[in-house]
Amino acid sequence: MIPTRTQVAIVGAGPAGLLLGQLLHRAGIDAVIIERQSADYVLGRIRAGVLEQVTMDLLDEAGVGQRMHQEGLLHAGFDMLFKGQRHRLDLHALTGGQQVMVYGQTEVTRDLMDARRQAGLLTVYEAQDVSIHDFDGPAPRVSWRQGDQTHELRCDFIAGCDGFHGVCRASVPEGAITQYEKVYPFGWLGMLADTRPVHHELIYVNSPRGFALCSQRSHTRSRYYLQVPLSDRVEQWSDQAFWDELRLRLDPQAAGELQTGASLEKSIAPLRSFVAEPMRFGRLLLAGDAAHIVPPTGAKGLNLAATDVKYLAQAFIEHYQGASSAGIDHYSDRCLRRIWRAERFSWWFTSLMHRFPDNGEIGQKLQEAELDYLFHSQAALHSVAENYVGLPLNFGESAALG
C-alpha cells in the first residue's frame, strides 16, 4: 500500500538515497524512496569500490557495516607506476594510521536494500514519469505512474538523490542554479573478471600509451581500467585486446603476473568534473550525483555522496527533533566546501596520470617531473595521502563558518 503522505520523499534508490533512508529510519523519521528503475537494474550497476573512513563510519552508523567488515579489503597504501617503475604511497604511515576499504558500491547497495527490506520500509521501484512539484512552498509533492495508476506523495521535504540525469535538478527553474562542468577528452574502459588481482593493492599507471588502473573487488575478482578515446566503443575491444593493451601499460613484473580470463562486464565511462550550486531550493535538497560528478581517479564519487547524506540526515534530524532549521539552511554551503576540495583533488590526480591528446611529448615529460617531485617530497606525499583517505568531516569548518 503506497501512502499519500510522508515526512521526506527520497527520489532515487542508489546508495545515496538508500543510505539517507536508513539513517532517517533509525532516527524515527518517515521516508519513502521512489526509483524509476527496477531493483535488479540498480543492483546491476557496476561502480566504484574504494571507501574512505568517513564512509565506513557512516555505514556502521546506519547499521549496515557488518558484511563490509567481513568481506572488505583494507588497504594501507597504493602503487603509482611511471617511467616503468612502481612507487608505493604509504597511506597508513603518512596519515597517522588511516586506511581505505575496497568494497564495491554494488555490495553497499545490496546491504542497504537488505536492511530496508528487513525493516519493512517502502521503496517504490519502476516508477514512471516521476515529477516533483511545489518544492518552493510549504507543501511539496512527488508524482509518478505505475501501469495505469497515478500516484502522488505529499511530504515536508524532497531529497533529490536521483543522479546526474535525474528529474530533481532538472526541475529547478532556469537561473536559480549555476552549473560548472569540465568534460575530459577520454573515457575509462573497465573490465570486471573473476581472476586473481595482479597486486594486493591498487596500481595507478601513468604510461606513454595512456592511463591504466589495476583494482579489485575481492581476492578472486579483479577490476581493471584503460584510458581510451571517447570515440571508442566496447564492441571494438575483445577480452584478448584488453589484456594485451593492459600488459603494454604495466611494468614487467606486473605484466608477467597478470592473470587473464573472460570478462564478466565491460563498459566505457566518460570522465567529467561537474558541480551544481546551490544544492538547496526551498524544500528540495540535492545529494550525490544529482549535484556533482568527479572523475573516478581517486574514487571520490561515492564518498562525496555519503558525506552529503551525512549532512542531510543531520539537518533533517535537527529539524524534526530539535525544531531548528540551521542544518537545512547551511546544508548547501557545508557540502559545497567539501565538494570543491574533492573536485580539485580528482582534477589534479586525473591531470597527473592521464595522457592528454593535445599535450604532446612535453606533457608526458612534465607529468613525469611532477611524479618524480612527488616521491621526493614528504610534504607532497602527505598532501596526496591526506586527500586520498578523505578529509575529516569538519575540515576547515570553524574558520569558514566564522
Q: What are the catalytic residues? A: 75, 204, 296, 300, 388
Q: Do 1 and 149 touch, CB atoms closer than 8 A?
A: no
Q: What is the C-alpha separation between 178 and 278, in angstroms, rounded?
A: 7
Q: What is the C-alpha separation between 218 and 215, in angstroms, rounded?
A: 9
Q: What is the C-alpha separation between 277 and 271, in angstroms, rounded?
A: 20
Burial of 278 (0-12, 13-18, 19+ CB in 10 A): middle
Burial of 171 (0-12, 13-18, 19+ CB in 10 A): middle
Q: How far is CA 152 from CA 34, 137, 170, in A?
A: 11, 17, 19
Q: Do 204 and 80 touch, CB atoms closer than 8 A?
A: yes
Q: Do 178 and 276 touch, CB atoms closer than 8 A?
A: yes
Q: What is the C-alpha separation between 203 and 250, in angstroms, rounded?
A: 9
